[in-house]
């Protein structure tokens, strides 16, 4: 898919939002950010998703992570839409800013385009404090996002960053579960990094590449 992708720096665009106008890099500075796009206001799946983001906002706040929405309508439309979002999802408060993009100029610059429908997509970028994309999800218009998976993936990224990417999280990993050690880390270094020790899986190949450590 063309456009910015993993490891690329998000362009420092000037954006208008429901709270105030700012440059994207100013918003990303010194924290992680979940940037998520929507094809348009007053649409059913998007309404459920923005409500869920509002309901999960405290989970992101606890992790020191900001939320930033984007929808392809103007500011007044966003503001008129918010009561519907909060009404449909009890307990939800849309306290995060939503970018306006009525002319669909920002969406392509952020590579949030649906290649099937050739228009705005239901996309999500997790952006690091260095303004680089660390993870991206792209969903078809028929499929709403799973907020638990967004949080799980975010926790994985935060865990890897904490350990300077010398660990990775295995399949279906959740916080407080063991992680695997990068093959680039020697056993000697691993002993220093993981004082609780680690276990090497005994596999038919006899290769000691799968090492599991408890970092909780």
Residues designated catalytic: 46
Q: Pull the structure tokens for residue 198.
A: 């680690």
Q: From 138, 122, 132, 105, select the one nearest 15 (Cα to Cα).
A: 105
**Rounded Cα distance, 41 and 85, in Å:** 10
Which of the 8 DSSP states describes residue 170? -
Instruction: Output the CA angle 134-136-142, nearest 5 degrees.
Output: 165
**Rounded Cα distance, 72 and 37, in Å:** 8
Q: What DSSP element (H or E) covers 46?
A: helix 44-55
In terms of Cβ atoms closer than 10 Å to its own Cβ (0-12, 13-18, 19+), residue 39 is buried
Which of the 8 DSSP states describes residue 203? -
DSSP reduced 3-state for 207? coil
């Amino acid at each position: 898919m063309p456009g910015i992708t993993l490891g690329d720096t998000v362009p420092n665009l000037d954006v208008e939002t429901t709270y105030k106008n700012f440059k994207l890099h100013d918003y990303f500075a010194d924290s992680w950010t979940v940037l998520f796009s929507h094809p348009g206001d007053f649409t059913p799946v998007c309404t459920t998703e923005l409500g869920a983001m509002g309901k999960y906002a405290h989970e992101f706040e606890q992790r020191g992570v900001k939320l930033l929405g984007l929808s392809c309508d103007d500011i007044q439309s966003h503001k008129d839409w918010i009561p519907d979002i909060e009404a449909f999802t009890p307990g939800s408060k849309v306290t995060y800013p939503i970018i306006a993009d009525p002319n669909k100029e920002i969406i392509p610059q952020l590579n949030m385009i649906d290649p099937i429908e050739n228009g705005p997509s239901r996309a999500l970028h997790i952006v690091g404090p260095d303004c680089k994309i660390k993870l991206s999800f792209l969903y078809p218009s028929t499929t709403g996002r799973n907020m638990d998976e967004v949080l799980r993936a975010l926790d994985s990224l935060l865990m890897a960053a904490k350990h300077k990417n010398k660990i990775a999280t295995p399949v279906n990993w959740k916080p407080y579960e063991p992680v695997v050690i990068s093959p680039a880390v020697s056993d000697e270094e691993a002993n220093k990094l993981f004082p609780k020790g680690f276990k090497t899986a005994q596999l038919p190949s006899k290769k000691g590449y799968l090492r599991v450590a408890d970092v909780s």
